[in-house]
Amino acid sequence: MSNFSSVMREIISTIVTFVVVFVLVWLLRLYVVEPFQVDGRSMDNTLQDGERLVMLKLADIERFDVVVVPPPNAPEKLYVKRVIGMPGDTIEFRDDMLILNGQPLEEPYLAEMQAQVEGNFTYDMTLEERTGVTQVPEGQIFVMGDNRRNSTDGRSFGFINLEDVRGEADFIHWPLSEFGLLTKYELNADGTAIVER
């Protein structure tokens, strides 16, 4: 009887361990991290079609982060884009230059793609022309793809609610040749340049 009892305890212990691990992994995926696969070329050359990422769901979203979002005109889809404008920002593009809150800024994450094209890589526009307002509204962000000539983004669908952001793309895990953290960018201390952080 004690041998049977010992075997049963072992079986129950194994089942409980599997259940606990399953619940922990499920909660981790539900609230902390989630895998995501890039579909399309709108983030070339930062991200390539077919690359697999891990997105961090609890991240504080900041300007120039790469995020996974549902577009307002197709909420069942998920797009990966770069945050260009935070609440209160004014945005304009003129002569291939981002003008953020009146400050002209070069976008270092676009340099490789810009070098491959003739003429402006990002066509001239103002936020007001595209959205009807001069500033990014409170609680919303303005996103764009890094492949500016081939991206469906805020220029066509407008703003994204911050609460709808699914996560920040942080880590490429496939292909192995690209394995690692994504480079992050921010404004320097005086707001005159976009730099790696």
CATH of the domain at 86: 2.10.109.10
| CB 52, CB 174: distance < 8 Å | yes
- Residue 46's identity, in one-letter code, is T
> Same structural domain for residues 106 and 18?
no
**Res 1 pLDDT > 60:** no
Question: For residue 10, what pLDDT is reported?
Answer: 86
Residues with Cβ within 8 Å of residue 108, at least 6 apart in sequence: 185, 194, 195, 196
> Same structural domain for residues 68 and 160?
yes
Question: For residue 31, what pLDDT is reported?
Answer: 63
| Confidence label for 82 from pLDDT (cuts 50, 70 and 90) | very high
Q: Which of 7-16, 100-109, 186-195 has the lowest mean pLDDT?
A: 7-16
Output the CA torsion 190→192→194→197 (10° steps).
-20
> Same structural domain for residues 161 and 189?
yes
Reported as a single tens digit per residue, the pLDDT across 87-101 is 999 999 999 999 999
> Same structural domain for residues 93 and 13?
no
> Same structural domain for residues 11 and 52?
no
Mean pLDDT of 79-91: 98
Number of domains in the chain: 2
Q: Which residues are annotated as catalytic?
A: 42, 81
> Same structural domain for residues 25 and 82?
no
Reported as a single tens digit per residue, the pLDDT across 176-187 is 999 999 999 999
| Confidence label for 13 from pLDDT (cuts 50, 70 and 90) | confident
> Same structural domain for residues 168 and 180?
yes
> Same structural domain for residues 71 and 14?
no
| CB 193, CB 85: distance < 8 Å | no
> Same structural domain for residues 123 and 153?
yes
Of the chain, the percentage scoring pLDDT greater than 70 comes to 94
| CB 166, CB 69: distance < 8 Å | yes
> Same structural domain for residues 55 and 18?
no
Quote the domain boundaries for residue 82: 35-196
> Same structural domain for residues 26 and 55?
no
> Same structural domain for residues 23 and 65?
no
